[in-house]
Amino acid sequence: MKKVLIFGIVFFGWLLSSCDSYEFPPVGAEKGSISGSLALFDEGTTQKASSAGMRISLEGTDPLIFTFSDQFGRFELKNVPFGSYAVVYEKEGYGTFRYLGEDDGDKFEHLPEIVNSKIPHFLLGEKSTTKIQNVNVEKVVGGYRFSVEGNPGGSISRERYFSFLVSTTNPNFSERDFDYSFKYSSNSNLLVVFLPDAVYESLLHPQTGKAYLKVYGNSYHENLYVENGRVVFPNLNPVSSELILLEKN
């Protein structure tokens, strides 16, 4: 009985000490903090030795509320008024990432019920250095073959990443306004992709029988997010392929 009593006292003491680490909001509090963490990578799968120097800011605040990640990728924004925010991650060489909450496309809610709001851990990569030099589309038995030349090309030790963006209606579409996206990788100088007839034809507009394609260099960690129902790829290299008309042959 004594052992049980002693254990209960110790456990209760531990529970009280654990509660001390949780910051309950004071009555009438108008501000709190937002914390999170991240890890930085190159455009491939190699993690950086340090994840310091990423600026994290709250869009629209005046004066701007911001901080920088430390070497372990940790950060904390202090004295933040409760409200809705777009949390912006920026660093030279990296595509800008925006965290808009768990319901992608809205805004992150910093609520008074929680003094220290937590943001998920993110893996963020550098922008792609792969420029698209040429894309050839050829009809072959059973489908279509896409041959993509990028610069620099891939190698055994350095895989390269490519995104195919397709619009079914707009020949002037951009990397923020497309209907389909596909991602591929290659460790050689030439990326070769085969699409079966059924897959290729499913991309075409049902009335016109046409679609439009652009190919971009991308990164392994794309820093992608969803805003207003649209997927955004911040790490695409702006030197894309020319517009390619897709139609049934």
Q: What are 180-197's pLDDT values in tens digits?
A: 999 999 999 999 999 999
Which domains occur in the chain, in start order? 23-125 (2.60.40.1120), 131-247 (2.60.40.1930)
CB 107 within 8 A of CB 37: no
pLDDT of residue 105: 54
**Rounded distance, CA 123 to CA 112, Å?**
28
**What does pTM read for this prediction?**
0.85
Helix (H, G, I), strand (E, B) or coil at 8: helix
pLDDT of residue 102: 81
pLDDT of residue 214: 98
Segments in 182-238 forming alpha helices (H)? 197-202
pLDDT of residue 26: 55
**Rounded distance, CA 128 to CA 134, Å?**
17
CB 67 within 8 A of CB 77: yes
Q: Is the pLDDT of residue 149 over 90?
A: yes
**Rounded distance, CA 241 to CA 148, Å?**
9
Instruction: Please tell me the least confidently modeled range out of 25-29, 45-49, 74-78, 197-201.
Output: 25-29
Q: What is the DSSP string of 140-152?
A: ETTEEEEEEEEES
Taking residues 186-209, what's their average pLDDT?
96
Taking residues 8-18, what's their average pLDDT?
39
pLDDT of residue 107: 86
pLDDT, one tens digit per residue, over 54-88 is: 999 999 999 999 999 999 999 999 999 999 999 99
CB 195 within 8 A of CB 213: no
Q: What is the DSSP string of 11-73?
A: HHHHHHHHHHTS-PPPTT--EEEEEEEEEEE-SSSPBPS--TT-EEEETT-SSPEEEE--TTS
pLDDT of residue 3: 41
Q: Is the pLDDT of residue 156 over 60?
A: yes
Which of these, 147, 150, 149, 148, lies nearest to 130 by C-alpha position?
150
Residues 13-51 as b/e (b if ≥16 CB within 10 A, e otherwise) read eeeeeeeeeeeebeeeeeebbbebbbbbbbbbeeebeeb
| Residue 48 structure tokens | 């950086």
**Rounded distance, CA 46 to CA 8, Å?**
48
Residue 242: what residue type? E
Which of these, 180, 179, 125, 187, lies nearest to 161 by C-alpha position?
187
Q: Is the pLDDT of residue 164 over 90?
A: yes
